[in-house]
Structure 1
């Protein structure tokens, strides 16, 4: 037998097979992207019929993403003492010393001057006032510097990867988020409230650390499906300003264990002009 010739033929067959597989994959991917684009255009038309503008411009998201296994850090009286010092009193809800107030539970801590406590303790995202993001570089730098100096002066051990700054009435709110692979954990954040350019309080919620092993891989639903599922909830004449992927605890499927550890899953975060934020679970299935 002519083995060199047979070997050459086999190599050619393998090359042709690989080329055919590559071409098939390319065509299937092209078909998928074309169908996805067509579906997205159809959904955007439905929004237009409802008089809802889609102003977001980023519609490119990964098709597969891992979840993140996390462990929660808790708060205790040591945190109160670090903020207030010795001699504080407790009335069953508030720890106080002079004009400083602390509210404490296992997963969050609020610190504020007493005249600002009712504003600071409210969840920023549920505030009924209009929230406007601040992106002017000089103001961002000025407010960020104020917060960093406050953190250092009070020896606060706060890990963060992203800063967002908002205007809400007479206040400025600097939000610090933890992230993984470029996606923020929306429940794990610290909101610093500034009034007349001074930090008057903060609320820290669900600080976490990423644990091992790594999370599971999940297929991500297309953004048109997320938008379509949200459409009935949006009022006419509103607008979609931003769409992004974030990590959110999958508490609705009881994967959080006694607020000690849990699995954070990818969610679409959709921000509206009205100030509302919606979170649509982005994973195809959960095994």
Structure 2
């Protein structure tokens, strides 16, 4: 192999990518603000660039560019007696149910052991059972978004994320496991927006976010059969927290209000993702 020639080709490709990135960055900026809508032409150009590098975009690329407020959040806190009454009540079932609060009373974990009856649910039935459980326990609201569902053996693991307007609050979630037509596991930690600043900050358009990750995606192709597939793109608010185990578990949520950072999350077919800071 002519290594000198191959090296030169890579250098040229790198320069071209960066020129394209610079071109679209300048084109998008006007008086320090991005335009309201990304054109279909630009989106098609981006898809073509990615396809030439064997990176397939199956996700819907958000076209709207907008300004978002800075959000300060805190975790919901729960009362032990209230939670026990809500989940257990006067439990006369043969099935063993437990519920506990951890992490300074900000994380609910419910478990139920079953006398197996090998009842099989469809995916749609499992989603309905999970949502009915959420509704029954008073956690139904317009912030809930079904995020993922996986099946293993005869169990469905269902993940809900928390949404605040156009933003996914990454640290707010509910996990539910459905088995034999019943919820056997439930976990919840949820956030409250305590302060939403009226002064909004601009975010980069999705096209720029994609171009910023193109080199990283290329390096990932070696472990993904030389092909990368992007299945989703979301605006995500994420807190910088260190979730410790063991004797330090109760220190997860020390402190109340937190600001967090905003990212464009590029999600791949295998569940991996790349976060790119979204603020201008």
* TM-superposition CA deviations, 1:247-273 (whole Å, max 9, x none): 333669xxxx94411225432122111
Aligned partner of 2:257 in structure 1 is 261
* TM-superposition CA deviations, 1:231-251 (whole Å, max 9, x none): 343322120112122333366
Aligned partner of 1:228 in structure 2 is 211
Asked if the contact 2:65–2:204 (Cα under 8 Å) also holds between the matched residues in 1, the reply is no
Asked if the contact 2:263–2:275 (Cα under 8 Å) also holds between the matched residues in 1, the reply is yes
Aligned partner of 1:149 in structure 2 is 132
Count residues with an aligned counterpart.
Answer: 219
Aligned partner of 1:105 in structure 2 is 103
Asked if the contact 2:43–2:61 (Cα under 8 Å) also holds between the matched residues in 1, the reply is no
Rate the CA distance shift 1:230–1:114 in 2: closer, same or farther, 3 A: farther
Q: Give the CA deviation at 1:112.
A: 1.9
CA distance in 1, matches of 2:38, 2:144: 34
From 204, 213, 218, give the equivalent of 2:188.
204
CA distance in 2, matches of 1:49, 1:110: 47
Aligned partner of 2:276 in structure 1 is 280
The structure whose Rg is larger is 1
> How well do the aligned residues superpose, as a CA RMSD in angstroms?
4.0
From 153, 159, 162, give the equivalent of 1:175.
159
Is residue 2:172 matched to residue 1:188?
Answer: yes
Structure 2 gaps of 5+ residues are 1-29, 115-121, 222-226, 243-252
TM-score normalized by structure 2? 0.61
Aligned partner of 2:25 in structure 1 is none
Q: Give the CA deviation at 1:201.
A: 0.8
Asked if the contact 2:166–2:235 (Cα under 8 Å) also holds between the matched residues in 1, the reply is no
Is residue 2:202 matched to residue 1:219?
Answer: yes
Asked if the contact 2:145–2:162 (Cα under 8 Å) also holds between the matched residues in 1, the reply is no
Rate the CA distance shift 1:196–1:32 in 2: closer, same or farther, 3 A: same
Rate the CA distance shift 1:79–1:225 in 2: closer, same or farther, 3 A: farther
CA distance in 2, matches of 1:32, 1:156: 41
CA distance in 2, matches of 1:34, 1:245: 16
Structure 1 gaps of 5+ residues are 1-27, 88-96, 116-137
